[in-house]
Structure 1
Amino acid sequence: MISVRPKIAELVYQLYGRSLHPELFDLQQSRTVERGAYKATVQITSAGHIVAWQYRGLTLTEVAAGAHHPLPQRRRLMSYRLKGERTDRIEIRPGLTYEMNFSLEPADHEKFAAYQRELTLAGTRQGMLQRFEPSGRFETGALSYVNIESRDKSLCVQAFHTFPDDSAVLKIQSWYRLGG
């Protein structure tokens, strides 16, 4: 199983109003949360992550994946290249909103090493942590850390993905909120 991360320039963020086939992705870890009336499956992939959130027959799927990855266009609600910063919000139906923001932060060697240490420490305490093999250019491999905060009427997913070859950290935070 290849576990070296692709280059950051090759990544996109997408949101779908449907489920996606898991065989499309190189899955590393998976966790399912059921709370209130919703269910969410959060997965770390070789390129980023997937969140499949289900509520009363509706499925929203958030994906951070390679731009050249063969993903469908049908029922795609958002699509952005993962560069710079972006915030977006969509009302799926009355009382149900999805919000996200992401930022790609370049870091010098010291700051990047500090990010890696902080994420490793956080991953030993809570959330999901995936270590990737070094690409060969650097001694250290990439990390993915995902923290899940669930409440009866909301789910917050915080994902951090490091890219040693690009000396960058990608932060993605998303909220699934039920009105009330």
Structure 2
Amino acid sequence: MISARPKIADLVFQFYGRSLHPELFEVQRERKVERTAYTATIKITSTGHAICWQQPEGLLLTEVATSALHDLPIKRRLMSQRVRGEHDDRIECAGGLVYQTELSLEHADHSTIRSYQQELQLAGEKHSVLYQFESGGRVGLGAFSYIHFESRARTLRIQALHTFPEDGVILKSQSLFTLPATV
């Protein structure tokens, strides 16, 4: 298991049509969202995040932002994207569920990263999960992860922001899980 935040150059964004063993991740913070049609577990990990979606009928999906060096399974991996610039994807899953995601990298100086972190800490944790990592190097500013979620009866919107002060980069992602109206 990798226990240090990866460099942005090593980061991958993956989507699975299955669950992943919890032992694969060092979880820093976790939140569970329960609706009649689905349950979602939102985790900030030492390397990024993991979003686990589960429906009562058995559909299991997992979104992961982690290091490419992290040894994750290939079986039922539906998407794997190195984090570079901007990227979007759309996957239609079993039962009509649609998964959509958008990623972008924003280069930022340390004062901008610090401002983001301070603003997000003030936002609180009513509909979010956040974690401040300790500084691991010369910058003196620890990485920060913030995940905001909007949960509705048939949709879950996830907005994640991860700072990488050593690299001068902010990773922003937005994911949407949408069930068809007939479910």
Normalising by the smaller structure, the TM-score range is: over 0.9
2:41 is the alignment partner of 1:41: yes
Q: How does 1:92-171 map to 2 (within 5 A)?
A: 92-93=93-94, 95-123=96-124, 126-171=127-172
Structure-2 change in CA distance of 1:132 and 1:103 (3 Å): same
The whole-number CA distance in structure 2 between the counterparts of 1:99 and 1:124 is 24
The whole-number CA distance in structure 2 between the counterparts of 1:134 and 1:40 is 30
Q: What is the TM-score when the length of structure 1 is the normalising length?
A: 0.94
Q: CA RMSD in A?
A: 1.6
C-alpha distance after superposition, 1:40-81 (max 9, x if no partner): 111100010000101121101000011010000000000000
The whole-number CA distance in structure 2 between the counterparts of 1:151 and 1:124 is 18
The whole-number CA distance in structure 2 between the counterparts of 1:126 and 1:34 is 13
For structure 2, list consecutive stretches of 5 or more residues without a partner in the other structure. none
CA shift, 1:124, in A, is 5.5
For structure 1, list consecutive stretches of 5 or more residues without a partner in the other structure. none
Structure-2 change in CA distance of 1:123 and 1:137 (3 Å): farther
The letter for the 2-side match of 1:38 is Y
C-alpha distance after superposition, 1:135-170 (max 9, x if no partner): 121121010011111000000111110001001100
Question: Once the two structures are aligned, what percentage of the paired residues are identical?
Answer: 56
The whole-number CA distance in structure 2 between the counterparts of 1:93 and 1:69 is 27
The letter for the 1-side match of 2:69 is H
The letter for the 2-side match of 1:7 is K
After superposing the two structures, state which structure 1 stretch, 3-12 or 156-165, moved more: 3-12
Q: Say if 2:14 and 2:81, in contact at 8 Å, map to a contact too.
A: yes
Q: Say if 1:123 and 1:145, in contact at 8 Å, map to a contact too.
A: no
The whole-number CA distance in structure 2 between the counterparts of 1:35 and 1:100 is 21
The letter for the 2-side match of 1:106 is H
Q: Which residue of 1 aligns with 2:84?
A: 83
The whole-number CA distance in structure 1 between the counterparts of 2:127 and 2:3 is 22
The whole-number CA distance in structure 1 between the counterparts of 2:124 and 2:24 is 26
After superposing the two structures, state which structure 1 stretch, 124-133 or 17-26, moved more: 124-133
Looking at secondary structure, tell me which structure has more strand per residue. 1
Q: Which residue of 2 aligns with 1:50?
A: 50
Q: Say if 1:11 and 1:81, in contact at 8 Å, map to a contact too.
A: yes
CA shift, 1:179, in A, is 1.2
